[in-house]
Structure 1
Amino acid sequence: MASLKEVRNRIVSVNSTQQITKAMKMVAAAKLRRAQDNIMQMRPYAQKLGEMLSTVSAGSESSSDSPLKTVRPVEKVLLVVVTSDRGLCGAFNTNVIKATLQLIEQKYAQQALRGNVEIFAIGKKGAESLSRRGFTVHTAYADLFGRLNFVAVKQAAEEIMKDFSEGRYDAVDLIYNEFKNVATQIIHADPYLPIRSEDKSMRARKTEVNYIFEPTEEEILSELIPKSLKIQLYRSVLESNASEQGARMTAMDKATENAQELLKELKLVYNRTRQAAITTEILEIVGGAEALKN
């Protein structure tokens, strides 16, 4: 049985840990409110921009000339993996890493065997984990959450689009957590480049309407396609940020509850140990008195 001092030290340690987890939960809750507001404002804009691009490109032949729509045999692959910079957020990062490895195994196994799968890391945890597994990891934007804004994400998107247009990669996929609520995050592994064309039935329905373009279709599409890709990446990063704070808030809440349960058990052990020590002392006193009497 542990001594009273050991149990008392453990109680002090767990109590300190509980105070830390409570504070981290409160910080995550405050950050979550801001992150949730940001993503709720971004979703309608991103959706409407996607619809606009789809509508304009549906009846346009010039959209097929964009280098971002060029379909090539997939030899080299870039995976944009969005994780967090810090841990203590439950299975948030682990789920993204698992989804990335599963995507590679199911879709890009041959390319991975030839060493043609590279990782574009947004978030330090993904960069560290995947580099340990032997993948080539680009970490220029791994600390993007420390300076999270549209300008930083736009630069990352421009670099990805430039590499694809120059033929450095034949396919780019995006893996991230979508925010649903505080306790639920949905893993997405979506194609990012090349931009997929719509099926013929959808194209036929949209080309029934005649549009007047001002300026020309080419100019509109040359602006809309890169802008849509930048917004898509920015939305993914915002979704991941909100998901991270929700996951951290949930994890810290569970940790606080577990600490409370552990404190109850330790206090019970402490009281039992203390009672046993008192009983032992009483027995020693009684035994000593009897010995003196005899």
Structure 2
Amino acid sequence: MPSLIDIRRRIRSVKNTQQITRALKLVSAAKLRRAQDRVIAARPYAQSIRELLSNLAAAAASDPDLSASTLLAQREAKRIELILMTSDTGKAGAFNANLTRTADRFIREHEGVAFDIVTVGRKGRDYFRRRNASVPRDYIGVLAKPAYATAAEIGRESVRRFRDGEVDAVYLINSEFKNVMSQKPSETRLLPVALPEPKQGEEPKIIDYIFEQPPLEMLQRLLPRYVEVAVFQGMLETSASEHAARMTAMDAASRNAGDVIDKLTLTMNRARQAAITKEIIEVVSGAAALD
């Protein structure tokens, strides 16, 4: 059995760790509230732009040049750009592992295709650099406070590479925020843009617009903006998911630290009781020897 000094030292060390995990939980809880509000506020805009794209595509369906639109053109996928969003720091449970595992599975499913990994977050960048993957662009420290300007920069460069034929498709893997206890990786094809389609058995909802410009021309201007909005939405979702995952992980760590402290305290009491019993036996034995 370890000595009382060693046990006390371990208890003190675990208590210090518990203070850190509790502080991280409180910080993540405060940040989660703001991040969650931003996600909820941005979702209606993202949904509206998807509906507008669908209506424009329906209005431009009779145009023979629609299928030849640069950002709608379907090409054989020989090189894919994969935008992966992870956190910059750890202590978030399996959050980053789930995202990198999803990216690995996606790459395996496209065997024989070359990949360029664009990472948003340090964990994803480090993971794929250790595996000698092609990481032409990385963005660090942008998910702490997601900004549309950063999302627009990422989206514009991806659109340019697709238009110039450097890549044949662009996909986004990010974490989708459900609630505090549930976040799951999400996979989205950004380019070529997949226009929204009505669900099975549902009549297409078409709004009769009066166009000042040809619908196809408006569609071509709107598609790059749609990509930027999709990237920004992914950043907001991932940021909120990170804080929720870290808050949950740190809460579990704090409770586990409490259990460890209880067990160590019990062990310490038993050791102290054994030491006291031993001293009593020694005193009684000494007294008996004097008689």
Do these two structures clear the TM 0.5 threshold for a shared fold by scoring above it?
A: yes
- Per the alignment, residue 69 of structure 1 pairs with 72
181, 184, 196: which is aligned to 1:183? 181
- Per the alignment, residue 40 of structure 1 pairs with 40
Structure 1 pair 133/102, CA: closer, same or farther in 2 (3 Å)?
same
* 1:177–1:186 CA contact under 8 A, matched in 2: yes
Query: How big is the alpha-carbon RMSD for the aligned residues of Structure 1 and Structure 2?
Result: 2.1
- Per the alignment, residue 259 of structure 1 pairs with 257
- Per the alignment, residue 85 of structure 1 pairs with 88
Cα deviations by residue, 1:22-52 (Å, 9 ceiling, x for unpaired):
1111100000000000000000010011100
Structure 1 pair 290/100, CA: closer, same or farther in 2 (3 Å)?
same
Distance 1:208 1:173 in 2: 28
* 2:121–2:138 CA contact under 8 A, matched in 1: no
Distance 2:7 2:175 in 1: 41
* 2:50–2:196 CA contact under 8 A, matched in 1: no
Following TM superposition, by how much is the alpha carbon of 1:197 offset from its aligned partner in structure 2, in angstroms? 4.5
Cα deviations by residue, 1:54-98 (Å, 9 ceiling, x for unpaired):
101222135434321121111111111111111110111111111
Cα deviations by residue, 1:248-267 (Å, 9 ceiling, x for unpaired):
11001101111111111111
Distance 1:93 1:40 in 2: 23
Following TM superposition, by how much is the alpha carbon of 1:172 offset from its aligned partner in structure 2, in angstroms? 1.2
Equivalent positions of 1:122-137 (< 5 A) are 122-137=120-135
- Provide the secondary structure at the position in 1 that maps to 2:67: helix
- Provide the secondary structure at the position in 2 that maps to 1:78: strand
- Per the alignment, residue 220 of structure 1 pairs with 218
Following TM superposition, by how much is the alpha carbon of 1:283 offset from its aligned partner in structure 2, in angstroms? 1.8
Distance 2:145 2:157 in 1: 17
- Per the alignment, residue 56 of structure 1 pairs with 56
Report the TM-score when normalising by structure 1: 0.91
Structure 1 pair 276/207, CA: closer, same or farther in 2 (3 Å)?
closer
- Provide the secondary structure at the position in 2 that maps to 1:64: coil
Following TM superposition, by how much is the alpha carbon of 1:228 offset from its aligned partner in structure 2, in angstroms? 1.0
Unaligned runs of 5+ in 2: none
Distance 2:13 2:121 in 1: 31
Select between 178-187 and 127-136 the one with higher mean Cα deviation.
Answer: 127-136
Following TM superposition, by how much is the alpha carbon of 1:145 offset from its aligned partner in structure 2, in angstroms? 1.8
Following TM superposition, by how much is the alpha carbon of 1:139 offset from its aligned partner in structure 2, in angstroms? 4.0
- Per the alignment, residue 101 of structure 1 pairs with 104
Structure 1 pair 139/6, CA: closer, same or farther in 2 (3 Å)?
farther
* 1:84–1:145 CA contact under 8 A, matched in 2: yes
- Per the alignment, residue 20 of structure 1 pairs with 20
- Provide the secondary structure at the position in 2 that maps to 1:43: helix
Q: Which has the higher helix share?
A: 1
Report the TM-score when normalising by structure 2: 0.92
* 1:58–1:198 CA contact under 8 A, matched in 2: no
- Provide the secondary structure at the position in 2 that maps to 1:68: coil
Following TM superposition, by how much is the alpha carbon of 1:200 offset from its aligned partner in structure 2, in angstroms? 10
Structure 1 pair 73/261, CA: closer, same or farther in 2 (3 Å)?
same
Distance 1:252 1:78 in 2: 34
Q: What is the identity, as a one-letter code, of the residue corresponding to 2:91?
A: L
